Structure 1
Amino acid sequence: MLLSIFSKLMATSVFLLFLPLIFFSSSSSSTIDRLNRASSLSVEHADDVLTSRNGIFSAGFFPVGDNAYCFAVWFSESSSEGNRTIIWMANRDQPVNGRKSELSVLKSGNVIITDAGRFTVWSTDTVSESSVFLKLDENGNLKLQNSEGVLWQSFDSPTDTLLPQQLLTKDMKLVSSRSQGNFSSGFYKLFFNDDNVLCLQYGGPHITVYWPKPWLKSWEAGRSIYNSSRIASLDPWGYFSSSDNFNFTSADYGERVQRILKLDFDGNIRLYSRNYGKEKWTVSWQAMSEPCMIHGTCGPNSICSHVPHLGRKCSCLQGFKIRDRTDWSLGCVPEFNLTCTRNETGFLKLSHVEFFGYDYDFFPNNTIETCENLCLEMCDCKGFQFKFVKHDHPDNIPYCFPKKQLLNGHHSPNFEGDLYLKVPKKTLPFQETGLNCSSTVVKQLNRTYTKHPENASQKFVVRFAIVFGAVELGVIFVVGCFFLRAHQNSNAGMHNYYRLATGFRKFTLSELKKATRGFSEEIGRGAGGVVYKGVLSDHRIAAIKRLNDASDQGEAEFQAEVSTIGKLNHINLTEMWGYCAEGKHRLLVYRYMEHGSLAEQLSSNALSWEKRFEIAVGTAKGLAYLHEECLEVEILLEVALKCVAEDKDARPTMKEVVEMLLRQENDSELV
């Protein structure tokens, strides 16, 4: 009797155990990790999603526009900005309607997405006689399986993202999205080419490869073409390896964090990482450090320029106008008509401008005059690139590149070459592209220097760096004076909020008091005010400068001056984060320099001669890059590099260098 009762209880338990599965197979929606045969997920039900067992990944219909949805896989937890991080999409180029659209697992073993219950827009194209199910794995892979194994998986057809342990093979490619908010297929691709090399390609109106550097042979770029396996992958620790010998290690290698390798819409491939939870993704590696070297950025007949902290900027060539102000990829069109008559055609020189590719041919050992004649003989020649290419010997060989089209244009002070644009003579002269530092004529500096008996190389470099520090302090003093100017006609009763063009944050006085613990830790002072160390609410360490009495300065004018300072952005300048203008109080918030100032380091004995040399040259190059075409910086760079490189006694003293700079400023009427 007891045995019979126990048997009935066991049968009932087995029935109850399988009851959820029976219920699920007859349901049209699911919130677990798998979808069984003859089941579906509906676009109309927000809870119709699959969630991996570890809860990290979700799959379902994702809104990509007004009444437009794509079936996607994403990280379940949103980022700190509140956005979902999409890692895969099925129908990215053919979204479905927000009503009656479904993803269904058919009895035949196929998985399809239907638009409004009528049209099939996507399919796995699979067939199975045995029962199948669609499952979202803990690693983010969406798999269609039967009793014999995997029939289809999302890891085999990536969109723009690779996850750790996901392979990129010869039959796969990553395709960027069209823009920041447009998930449809864009112009950029990451794939293995026919030479077994992993490369980045721009596939817009004109197809070009821009990574690795196209002017390099494979072996010159450190790649191998003798491995036809064509396979690459990212491990969970942040190490990426490819069969063509390309590999890299993330900046946070070894940490247990979430990672994705993504081909962004701007054509750069980046490795992102974040701690588990709702945190912001940070870049731990990227392929291209110079964003303007990415092809197709600004379209035909236009130039890409990189502005530190602001990003890329597109501009039309002189004599051209933008084709479509909403889409720079379409480039610019000429506002003039060119004829094939030689005496009606001239050339406009654009310094440090390069247009890569689309050459008729290259012609070595040519002068500018012969290159002009070559281009004039070709009616459809748009201009020519003229540059010096260094080979194994120290001599520079001039090369001429007549251009069929003007594509992939960029401006860089480091580019040693010029573009000569073909234009009608009647339109000359144009003003050449560049920074106009003064509206007056700049006089040539006299480069005759007096001898100094004690000018050892190391002493010069140290003094040279100290001069830069003195100049910096002078600039800070001048800026402080600006902030201390009194304006008697300001309205003290008005403290309106004016948002700065630079995007600085406006802090309250109470926030900064709390950050500095009542302005208790002083780290420096000068004529303009006192600097305190503080910790902001987002845990960033800041240097907070409390300006001396500036109570009569209006907030609008104060913010205008802050905005002006903010435009002087450069990687070697201390970053400004915000300001405070409350009542009579005026404060500036900067990034805190954890390792102290350059002056402190130079005053110590911790730096070797080689490091001091790098600091001096790097400082000069940084200023030259910041100011680009400004004559006074070019002169300073030339003086510094010449005096450091040549081991001679004929060098200027520090006093003479400063006097030359001051004379140059007076001559060009610069403040």
Structure 2
Amino acid sequence: MKLIIITFSFVFLLSATISARTFSDYINPNFTATYVQFIDSFGTFLLSYNKTFKAAIFNPGGQQTSFYLCVIHAASNSIIWSGNRDAPISDSGKMFLTLEGITIIDEGGKTKWSTPSLKSQVDRLVLTEMGNLVLLDKSNGSLWESFQNPTDTIVVGQRLPVGASLSSAGSDSDLSTGNYTLTITSSDAILQWYGQTYWKMSMDTKVYKNSDGVVEFMAINSTGFYLFGDGKSVYQLGLPLASFRIAKLDTSGHFTINSFSGTNLKQEFVGPGDECQTPLACGRAGLCTENTVSSTPVCSCPPDFHLGSGNSSGCVPNNRSYSLPVACKYSSVVSFFNIGYVEYFSTFYSDPVMYSGNLAACQNICSSNCSCLGIFFVNTSGSCYIVENVLGSIQSSNGGGRDMLGFIKAIVVASTTSNDNDSDENQRSQKGGFPVAVAVLLPILGFTILMAIVFLVWRKLTLSRMKEVKLGKNSPSSGDLDAFYIPGLPARFDYEELEEATDNFKTLIGSGGFGAVYKGVLPDKSFVAVKKIVNIGMQGKKDFCTEIAVIGNIHHVNLVKLKGFCAQGRHRLLVYEYMNRGSLDRNLFGGGPVLEWQERFDVALGTARGLAYLHSGCEQKVIHCDIKPENILLQDQFHAKISDFGLSKLLSPEQSGLFTTMRGTRGYLAPEWLTNSAITEKTDVYSFGMVLLELVSGRKNCYFRSRSHSIDDSNSGGRNSSASSTPGLVYFPLFALEMHEQGSYLELADPRLEARVTCEDVEKLVRIALCCVHEEPALRPNMVTVVGMLEGSTPLPHPRIESLNFLRFYGRRFTEASTVADENEFGSVMHQQSHSSASMPSDSLTGRFSYISSQNISGPR
């Protein structure tokens, strides 16, 4: 008897051991898995061929109540898919693989989740090396795949087609469907919270637009994050090379992309990048302020609100007689709390419900809509935005010029009882009641105040019209602008406001083909740069404002922000953010501290990113047409921003043919400008290449060199180059080409940097610059590729010498011109300019020679 018991126990243990074995690559039907059965391997019952991924009955967070069928990246323990996310099982629940598919049953035999009906019987369940859990039939045909049923994550090799979406999890330990979604449309990837959009891939400053195609699917791969359509990328986020990547919509609503290296996941991208742009950054009705010290925002409550107690996550009214409503579940008695000038995340991505109106009309729209919980009203345009169904966090205004007033709807608390009313009546009785005299006088006083307000408004309008006449303007104040509305128009200023802000245009800080720039201070103490526009066509105000609306809606960290404008009478002014370090030419060519190499590289990268956004990231492609150091402005830490973008659109058709000053500057003009060839974004690439060479050398590309300050001949090893050995006018791009051919890159570096730059650093920028200035536009890289080269994610190309030979012709022409000119004349000009030769504007040196003819500028062909 004892022998029988021992034998039976052995057989039982052997069968249990076999059934608990973790299988590799695939399993066949009539298979059962439980967490308890596979507990020694953390619930894992199936591994991919190389053990990159595992399928398991898993309890995230270590809790012991909710278990899920999961696919997990083994090295990082990241869950990339879960089957029964909304129907977890206990530790004794089971997964069955049958001929009909996968079924998950909890204790008591209740089915919690299963695969849909299949077209044929299952032969095996496979876990691929990409992390795809696949049901196959006997012919190896796919019956069902986890990749086609995504949860909150996609990985390399997986596609998210148009119409599909990712949904966040409830928490790290609760995989149930959360409130955030990432949806793919035919034109974009969109993050939403209860239907309110708070991020779009197309509007992210790090994302570039490559084509106007229709989006078909989203994917990540070893080089980046893409929206693909018609066999090519429509939108692209370039990332460093990585063999494994995870893109996930996390529990807080962030869309993150992480790469895996070694034993850790490294975050490469997060959208939205601004923490305050996430819906619940500071809870319901919380006020979110950007933290300049860290990425964690500063949370507070709006005026007349305080932090709620208990389980309340957010802010509630100070007056306990009011509470925040639930959509369509409140009484008809409503009020609005004015929370001041703020922003709300969804208004950046939605259209107003009213384009031109007053505040009262905006409030009436919300009052009559039970799902409306708040309004945001733009003073300058009369636009009205409403928030429906749920209210998220509010953003502190960044002074961007929208002048958006926020109002939160509140309701009278129903629990206010008649006893409270009786108490109030008793208190009023004890104080002697409400005087009859006051009741009689109040209507008279109100009427008097109303008439006074009407008179003051009439008087202000009359004085405004008189000022218009005095200034010789052809239209009343701004009435002609009020007669129409253009969505997205920046803040509008009166001419008198800007006169006062600039102290009657006292401090000149710059000038160019479009006009002079003056420093100003607005009433809120913020500094601005005010540009007086000249040399534009006789456009109507509406045409002018339409173009300004386009420019004002272009936002990127490397583009100078347009804060407002003035179109009053004949005056046209633009109000920009103030860049406290001035223009690149003053910092690079002036007599101040030498720009270090890293600072120069940061300027180059920032400028490249800004141009890439203008060319590929905007809804309407913008060609700058005048990239030069004067139009690259710097802030603290030498953060570079491009100015004057889009202004070429303000030129009249008659002026569009001009290439000097307004439409490009000599020394930065691509050859196609003077050969009547098509002007494309590649003309900006050429100009950028010329700026890049100036960043390398610290000099203007065309400068006069006398014997006393010539390039050290010892550095050139005694070589006799046409660009370097002869005193006179030096054409640096030719010198750069010659040194590139000889591999002598350090001779091109600014001598003021001494030994603080390496040959490899200089070679990188010179090779990129030479590729940018290829004579044929088609051979020049686009700016997205240039950014990749600078960042290191795209290999450095080799310049095509045959497309750079025109530089030799340029160099000979400049050399001949300098020998004809009297050297003393150049010295006189230089003395008058009070600058060193390194800081001389190229136009001053070459003005004597006008410009090379259109027949010669492109060189011999």
CA distance in 1, matches of 2:26, 2:507: 83
Equivalent residue, structure 1, for 2:381: 397
Distance verdict in 2 for CA 1:311–1:129, change over 3 Å: same
Map 1:612-623 → 2, pairs under 5 A: 613-615=633-635
Equivalent residue, structure 1, for 2:169: 177
Distance verdict in 2 for CA 1:69–1:381, change over 3 Å: closer
Q: Is the contact between residue 111 and residue 126 of structure 1 (CA under 8 Å) also seen in structure 2?
A: no
> Which residue of 395, 406, 427 maps to 1:410?
395
Name the structure with the higher strand share: 1
Distance verdict in 2 for CA 1:348–1:603, change over 3 Å: same
Residue deviations 1:159-190 (CA, integer Å, cap 9, x gap) = 11111121112463211112344332211112
Distance verdict in 2 for CA 1:198–1:420, change over 3 Å: closer
CA distance in 2, matches of 1:603, 1:28: 61
Q: CA deviation at 1:147?
A: 0.9
CA distance in 1, matches of 2:175, 2:374: 37
CA distance in 2, matches of 1:178, 1:421: 30
Equivalent residue, structure 2, for 1:539: none
> Which residue of 250, 253, 271 maps to 1:264?
250
For 2:289, the aligned partner's letter is S
Distance verdict in 2 for CA 1:369–1:155, change over 3 Å: closer
Q: Is the contact between residue 126 and residue 151 of structure 1 (CA under 8 Å) also seen in structure 2?
A: no
Distance verdict in 2 for CA 1:352–1:33, change over 3 Å: same
> Which residue of 103, 110, 113 maps to 2:104?
113
Residue deviations 1:172-220 (CA, integer Å, cap 9, x gap) = 3211112344332211112234x664322213xxx22333299x9xxxx
For 1:94, the aligned partner's letter is A
CA distance in 1, matches of 2:296, 2:243: 28
For 1:76, the aligned partner's letter is A
Q: CA deviation at 1:74?
A: 1.0
> Which residue of 153, 157, 161 maps to 1:165?
157
Q: Is the contact between residue 283 and residue 315 of structure 2 (CA under 8 Å) also seen in structure 1?
A: yes
CA distance in 2, matches of 1:296, 1:209: 13
SS in 2 for 1:352: strand
SS in 2 for 1:155: helix
Equivalent residue, structure 1, for 2:50: 54
**1:137 maps to 2:128:** yes
Q: CA deviation at 1:384?
A: 4.5
Residue deviations 1:624-670 (CA, integer Å, cap 9, x gap) = xxxxxxxxxxxxxxxxxxxxxxxxxxxxxxxxxxxxxxxxxxxxxxx
> Which residue of 58, 75, 79 maps to 1:77?
75
Residue deviations 1:277-311 (CA, integer Å, cap 9, x gap) = 312x2222333222322335455433333324242
CA distance in 2, matches of 1:298, 1:370: 29
Q: CA deviation at 1:422?
A: 6.6
Equivalent residue, structure 2, for 1:601: 595
Distance verdict in 2 for CA 1:59–1:331, change over 3 Å: farther
**When the two structures are aligned, how many residues end up with a matched partner?**
414
CA distance in 1, matches of 2:367, 2:102: 61
CA distance in 2, matches of 1:24, 1:326: 47
Q: CA deviation at 1:40?
A: 1.9
Q: Is the contact between residue 161 and residue 174 of structure 1 (CA under 8 Å) also seen in structure 2?
A: yes
- Alignment RMSD, CA only? 5.1
Q: Is the contact between residue 189 and residue 201 of structure 2 (CA under 8 Å) also seen in structure 1?
A: no
For 1:60, the aligned partner's letter is A
Map 1:251-650 → 2, pairs under 5 A: 251-252=239-240, 255-275=241-261, 277-279=262-264, 281-298=265-282, 300-308=284-292, 309-322=294-307, 326=311, 328=313, 332=316, 335-337=319-321, 348=338, 350-354=340-344, 356=346, 362-364=353-355, 366=357, 384-387=375-378, 397-401=381-385, 407-408=391-392, 409-415=394-400, 416-421=402-407, 601=595, 609-610=629-630, 613-615=633-635
SS in 2 for 1:183: coil
Distance verdict in 2 for CA 1:300–1:131, change over 3 Å: closer
For 1:111, the aligned partner's letter is I
CA distance in 1, matches of 2:184, 2:505: 60
CA distance in 2, matches of 1:331, 1:173: 31
Distance verdict in 2 for CA 1:247–1:35, change over 3 Å: same
> Which residue of 89, 93, 96 maps to 2:86?
93
Residue deviations 1:86-113 (CA, integer Å, cap 9, x gap) = 11111222222123x222212x332112
Q: CA deviation at 1:123?
A: 1.1
Distance verdict in 2 for CA 1:419–1:116, change over 3 Å: same
Equivalent residue, structure 1, for 2:229: 243
Q: Which moved more, 1:282-291 or 1:158-167?
A: 282-291
Distance verdict in 2 for CA 1:620–1:133, change over 3 Å: closer
Q: Is the contact between residue 59 and residue 173 of structure 2 (CA under 8 Å) also seen in structure 1?
A: no
CA distance in 2, matches of 1:335, 1:454: 51
CA distance in 1, matches of 2:318, 2:272: 31
CA distance in 2, matches of 1:604, 1:322: 45
CA distance in 1, matches of 2:218, 2:599: 46
Q: CA deviation at 1:150?
A: 1.6
Q: CA deviation at 1:154?
A: 0.9
SS in 1 for 2:290: strand
> More relative contact order in 1 or in 2 (CA 8 Å, sep 6+)?
1
Larger radius of gyration: 2
Equivalent residue, structure 2, for 1:153: 145
Residue deviations 1:222-271 (CA, integer Å, cap 9, x gap) = 699984x742222333242333964223331xx24311111122222222
CA distance in 1, matches of 2:51, 2:350: 54
SS in 1 for 2:23: coil
SS in 2 for 1:318: coil
CA distance in 2, matches of 1:127, 1:454: 75
Distance verdict in 2 for CA 1:386–1:616, change over 3 Å: same
For 1:613, the aligned partner's letter is L
For 1:231, the aligned partner's letter is F
Q: Is the contact between residue 304 and residue 314 of structure 1 (CA under 8 Å) also seen in structure 2?
A: yes
Q: Is the contact between residue 368 and residue 386 of structure 1 (CA under 8 Å) also seen in structure 2?
A: yes
Q: Is the contact between residue 24 and residue 30 of structure 1 (CA under 8 Å) also seen in structure 2?
A: no
SS in 2 for 1:292: helix
CA distance in 2, matches of 1:618, 1:326: 46
Equivalent residue, structure 1, for 2:191: 200
CA distance in 2, matches of 1:453, 1:447: 11
CA distance in 2, matches of 1:250, 1:605: 23
Map 1:1-16 → 2, pairs under 5 A: none
Distance verdict in 2 for CA 1:364–1:256, change over 3 Å: closer
Distance verdict in 2 for CA 1:169–1:331, change over 3 Å: farther
Equivalent residue, structure 1, for 2:478: none
Q: Is the contact between residue 196 and residue 346 of structure 2 (CA under 8 Å) also seen in structure 1?
A: no
Residue deviations 1:524-575 (CA, integer Å, cap 9, x gap) = xxxxxxxxxxxxxxxxxxxxxxxxxxxxxxxxxxxxxxxxxxxxxxxxxxxx
Name the structure with the higher helix share: 2
SS in 1 for 2:151: coil
CA distance in 2, matches of 1:155, 1:72: 13
Q: Is the contact between residue 634 and residue 640 of structure 2 (CA under 8 Å) also seen in structure 1?
A: no
Structure 1 segments unaligned to the other structure (5+ residues): 1-22, 79-83, 389-395, 425-445, 462-597, 622-671
CA distance in 1, matches of 2:363, 2:352: 14
CA distance in 1, matches of 2:144, 2:409: 57
CA distance in 2, matches of 1:223, 1:237: 15
Q: Is the contact between residue 49 and residue 58 of structure 1 (CA under 8 Å) also seen in structure 2?
A: yes
